[in-house]
Amino acid sequence: MKRRGLLIILSSPSGAGKSTLAGRLRAWDDSLRFSVSATTREPREGEVDGKDYFFVTTEDFQAQVGAGDMLEHARVFGNYYGSPRTPVQAAIDEGRDVLFDIDWQGAQQISKSALRDHVLSIFILPPSIPELHRRLVSRGQDDVETIERRMQKSWDEISHWDGYDYVMVNDNLDETEERLKTIISAERLRASQQPALMTHVRMLQTQFEER
């Protein structure tokens, strides 16, 4: 029986392992797709419209927000970013899961959107604050000032952990990955994700009555 897709939200403070786990999930199930965001900023060299981002004008973006066609949106450094509803709705209707790597504010917006019944939200916690700092330093992507900004922001992210369906501590990457797979596999079997169940139950009832 065909199922509906899930809208899978992964959130965490920087350095907790969210992006690595998202990549592992896609390697586990190549039908998982990242949501392509819309933005009003100019394309950078090599970026492809519809693949990296949907590049739109500010007027078009605001019109989509006004029409309820953005699942979540925010303004960052003078540009708008958001998640268009139409491609996500199409994927869900076709039984394909869509993966969102977003912060707690975006997660809250999506959880209150028209697609809230299909949301699976998961928050990833670090095992400790010193370990979170060590991971940010060891990955070698940021200078000292940037790392400190990320650390300051981390508590704001962590303080919203209780707004998610599932919360797990990423103290072992392999074990966390396996727990994520278990959660997703189970949630795909939610009754609300299987629209054909009612038809099947009615068929069973008819067969029972005809015995």
Strand bridging mode 79-84 / 33-34:
unpaired
**Domain segments of the chain: what residues?**
7-35+96-209
Check if the beta carbon of residue 19 is closer than 8 Å to that of residue 159.
Answer: no
**pLDDT per position in the chain (211 positions), as tens?**
588 999 999 999 988 988 899 999 999 998 898 888 999 999 888 889 988 899 999 999 999 999 989 999 988 778 999 999 999 999 999 999 999 988 898 899 999 988 999 999 999 999 999 999 999 998 887 888 888 888 988 999 999 999 999 999 999 999 999 999 999 999 999 998 998 898 999 999 999 999 8
Tell whether domain 7-35+96-209 is in CATH 3.30.420.40: no
Distance in angstroms (rounded) separating the CA atoms of residues 141 and 138: 8
Residues in the chain: 211
Query: What is the radius of gyration, based on Cα positions, of the chain?
Result: 20
